[in-house]
Amino acid sequence: MKAILVFGLIVLIAFLGSRIFFKRKKAFLPLSYFFFSGLVYIFLGLLLGERGLGILSSGVLQDLSPLVSLGLGWIGFLFGFQLELKYIRKFPRKYIGLSFLQYLIIVVLVGAVLAVVLAYLFPSQPSFLLYGMAVALGLFISLNSPSLLNFASPLIPQKGDYYHLARFLVSVSGFWGVCGLAIIASFWHFPSLESQVIVKGLIFVLALVLFPLLMGYMFHFLTLKKVPEQDLLVYLLGLVFFTSGVAAYFNLPSLFICMVLGLTFSNLTRVQEKIYPLLLSTEKPFTIIFLILVGALWEFNLDTRVVFLVALLLLLRVAGYTLPLSPLGRILRFSYPLPSVFGFCFQSSGGIAVAFIVSLKLIYQLPLTDVFVSVALIVTILSEILSPWPLKGVLVKLDTKK
């Protein structure tokens, strides 16, 4: 009964909060972006959790745990649904090449540095665990969010090549990172078993891809007849909830599975443009509920090692997104230069990063999981607070110079 009452309270907060925050301001105020992003609700979850008022106690969170998996699935579905191939094909192929190379450089850079640093900070932990955490943090840093550019767009009167390139990169970068999550979840699903790792990993990869593809095709076949958009939204919710439940039962990342589901259905249906606004109308309240639960689940941990890792990741994020841009622009033969300062357009992580963090927490209940969650969430929050400041002085100047 208490879980039902608490859930009702969270829904009420989501209803009110979606009308207070998530609104674009007329003036570009960098600090106000943190409220626009919605991550402030993580702190509300911390306040309501066991470390605060105790309203979201461990028992209540256990009863509400399916909502977390459902939230991950809905975020993944919304992200995949916007990746419609007919629109992506309109962009030059070098845009996709830059997106993948940018992702690869970040993962390799962060993974290599963290593999050395984590071995020094946690010498008693097994090497496979440290390497896994290093790669996971690299994938986490590779994720970007378009919400910051959406927030700043009124400030840019003439949206030139730099703006459109940045919008493309932040919109598709999550695809590579979530695919990396699927690979980790597949080849590291049973870390205690050393035999037939490759075979088991490939089986999991196939299952992660084929199951949502099959569900997407089946749902498209069942909705070929005209269905009212409102009814279709209810059916989509049921489909995503079922798929998320199956993923949670087998301890698989519902974020990736539902992303593939959304991508599949989006590229099959002919009413994508009618459904998408309806899906967006559910995004704000679902996001608020999800972020509150994330805050309540957060085993907040702040010591010298966490502080050091947070500072290091922020530096690696800036370096990884700024330093390689000029040579990559020359390699891919961009018609306009890609200066290093352009990399400050990619310092915001947003909700996709939070979903990635929670996905790993649910899949791997390991000794360093809570450290990973604390480091990643703090980096995400600081990125949302700090990222608007350089963007305000970078993107506007680059586009107005052209």
Closest CA to 360 of 263, 254, 289: 254
For residue range 74-129, what is the model confidence (pLDDT) as tens digits? 888 988 888 888 888 888 888 999 999 999 999 999 999 999 999 999 988 888 88
Report the alpha-carbon distance of residue 362 to residue 375 in Å, rounded.
16
- Please name the amino acid found at residue 182: A
CA distance linking residue 45 with residue 290, whole number of Å? 9
Mean pLDDT in consecutive groups of 10 residues from the start of the chain, 402 residues: 60 60 54 74 78 69 74 88 83 89 94 92 85 90 85 72 86 90 78 63 84 87 73 82 86 89 86 73 76 80 89 94 91 87 86 88 81 90 84 67 54
Helices (H), 188-271: 197-222, 229-249, 254-268
pLDDT of residue 61: 65
The pLDDT score that the predictor gives to residue 6 is: 61
Show Cβ contacts of residue 83 under 8 Å, excluding neighbours closer than 6 positions: 172, 175, 262, 263, 266
Digit-coded pLDDT (tens) for 245-300: 888 888 888 999 999 999 998 888 777 777 777 777 777 777 887 888 787 788 87
CATH number of the domain at 2-19+29-401, please? 1.20.1530.20
How confident is the model at residue 400, as a pLDDT?
58
The alpha carbon of 99 is separated from its chain's Cα centroid by a whole number of angstroms, namely 16
- Nearest 5°: the CA angle 354, 72, 184 is 75
- Please give the pLDDT value at position 34: 72
- What ranges do the domains of the chain cover? 2-19+29-401
